[in-house]
Every structure is written in C-alpha cells, then in structure tokens.
Structure 1
Amino acid sequence: MSTELAPGLFIQIFTPPLQLSGFKVIAFDMDSTLINIECIDEIADAAGKKSEVAAITEAAMRGEITDFKESLRRRLALLRGVPVEALQQVYEQRLRLNPGAQELMTAARTAGLKTLLVSGGFTYFADRVQQRLGMDVARSNELEIDNGRLTGRVVGDIVDGEEKKRQLLALCERVGCSPLEAIAVGDGANDLPMMSAAGLSVAYHAKPKVREQAMVAINEGGLDRLLEVVHPPR
C-alpha cells in the first residue's frame, strides 16, 4: 500500500529519506521519461500513421502486449519508406527534455553516480539526449536506413525489457556495485525488469501497472522530485 509523501509523490516498501550518495548507478528510460514524447509515434506522424502506431505503443507500455519486440516490429513496419529527414524534424520540433531531467542528472553526477540511458527507442534520439544531459552510457535501437529512407527494421537485436535489465546489471558490474545500489526510472511495462532488479524503482508519470510496482511514483511535477525522497549531498 503506497503512502502519499507529498502531493503527487507516492512511496512504498521503504522509509525515506534515502541519500543519493548511497547509490552508485542511476538508469533511465528515454521516451516519456527523460523526454516528453514517444519518438516512434512522432515519426509515424510523418507517414500519416500516428494513430495506428500510437495505439500499439500505448498497449505495449500498459503491458497489454507482452512481447515488446513483436510490438516494435509491427510499429517499425508501418514506418517503412519514411525519409530520414523526419527524424531531424521530430528532434528539433517536438522533442523536449522533461521537467527536472537536467536537475536530477546534475545532482546524480555530483553525488558520483554513473548514469545510463537505456531505451527501446532509437539511437538517433538517445545519443543526442545522452550528450545533452552529459550521461555516461546510452543503449538503444539503431534504425536501418537505405537510400535516405527507413526500411522498417532495426540493425541488430532489439532492446526490450530484458535487455534494459541486462544493461543495468552490466553497468553495476563495471562500476563494482550491487544492483541494490542502483536506481531505475521508467514509465512503461518494458521498464519493469530493470526496475525490479534495482535497489530503488521509480515510476515517472507512469502507466498504472508500473506505478503499482514502483517504490517511488512521481505522478505530478518533474523528475527532480525524486530528490525529495533521495536527498543529494549538502
């Protein structure tokens, strides 16, 4: 049973406050977590297929479609033929960092945490967001492009929920810390594997299934509200 610590901020399973310096790694989903959009839905808008793609995205994020890889393949297939310029338009015109993202990242870095962006979205956006926020590691899906257009496929294996978890555990291993010293932040069902592996799980404006399982749920305000629960160094 969760407790409302402050308006729009819920906790369960632990007693706050925690100290940010007590953690070594913090991992973030990208779409609708670090940024304000689902990039694949906005790319689909360029193909006139946003409603069709967005419906699949919503079902996947709510956990109604359990096979994330298959849901992504279905959505990608609808993007076949979209010109690569559409990616730049989405990035420049529609993508914004969510409130508090920069503040939380700065606090995490100051406290000595390694930062990970791990996304079922695309490198075109994830690499740029990583650079903007000064994050240590980014892992996402690379869109396959042929003659300046999307093929409707990705290069290599798809990053799904299990891969997100694997990336979190791999970074913990490199840092030399326990997963219990990691924080995982996400909003959709495919974030649950990495959230369950971390010592502290955070749901940000998340789907009901994710809010119910997270130790911290930020339902109002920005990402930096986590600092009300996990205090930065003075």
Structure 2
Amino acid sequence: MYKLILASQSPRRRELLKMLGIEFDIKVSNCEEIITSSEPAQVTMELAKQKALAVANELVKQKAFETEIADVRAASDTKNEENIIIIGADTVVAVDGEILGKPKDKDDARRMINKISGTSHQVYTGVALVLVKDDKAACIELFAEKTDVEVCEMSSQEIDDYISSDEPYDKAGGYGIQGIFSKFVSGIRGDYNNVVGLPVHRLYYTLKECAKSIADI
C-alpha cells in the first residue's frame, strides 16, 4: 500500500481527486518553475514533474532529519515505512500555437478571452507520479492528457462582464469550464475533468497499475 499526496493547492484538483475515493494529503510545492520546451504537452509534464519532485525531496530531507534526531529504532520499523506517491499536475491552454497560462491582470485576461472566443483550442494537463520509497524519490509515471474545447463567438460586452468577475484569474487560459464561462462552451472532445484540472479517468487507472507494481520498484 501507499500514502497519496497531492502537490497542489488548487481547490478544483482537490475536489476531482476526491472522486477517486482514495484518502490523500495536500502538500504544496514552492519550486521555481523551469520551462525548456515550447510544446504544450511537454511543458505541462515538465512542470508537473518539478512540482511533485519538489515535494518529494522535502519529504526525503524531513525523514532524514527525523532519523538523525530520533532514538535508534528496530530495523523492522524502517522496513515497514509507508511508501508515498506524490501527484504533481499542471494545466495550460493552447491556441494558435500560443500557450496560455493564468492571466496576470485584467488586460491579460481580456486578451486571452478574445483569443479563444469563436475558436477551438486545446487544454493540456500534465501529471507526474513520484514515488518516495526507502528515503529515495523517483518519477514512476509521466503523461499529458489533451481535450479540445470549442467556444462560441463572444460579444465585447460578454467579455467585459466575464473578466470583471473573479473567475478568470487563477485559471489557465483565463476561464473555468465549470463556472459561469460554461455558457460560452459549445462543445468538447475528450475528458471534461481534464479541462477542470485533472484527468480523473486516466489518473485512476494509472494509480491502479502503480499499486500492482509498487512492491517491485
């Protein structure tokens, strides 16, 4: 068995992960994001891996420190230490070759919504699973899921009204498909939950496979 940790402060990812019916803890990573690719799927995987590894490394250091200050324990105690799987995730919107992250301000939000209005765009969520076992951390799964989203033509007034709400500013692409923006979404192809922030279906089956093989890693 293993303990599950979500390396994200996103309330949407927290709610999505609850759908799996698995208990988990939350530990937010504060790593510096380093991007080496311009390809959306690769970017999300890079950032997801960085987030998960940052949390994993903190846990490894913490465990090492606790071992140093603790009394000498029986060898069996060390052998029975719980394995930990950390989930890192990152979501971006891509349209016409441009990657859209979270808007910096109102003008940036307006630019993003204008760009996706009346178009089809792609939403990518990268997921990394990092295993902490025997005081070592390693990425054991890394993938990106893509969903196509179609947005109807929005009027200038509709755009102004939308960016005046609180909804755009903590979301990739400046919109939340599960919120008031939903009335402008004319169709999707792929996993809806992926657009919200986590590909629940694929993650569930990936974790199932990990559970089968974790003892051999």
Q: Which has the larger radius of gyration?
A: 2
Higher relative contact order (CA 8 A, sep 6+): 1
TM superposition score category, shorter chain reference: under 0.3
| Structure-1-length-normalised TM-score | 0.22
User: TM-score, structure 2 length as denominator?
Assistant: 0.23
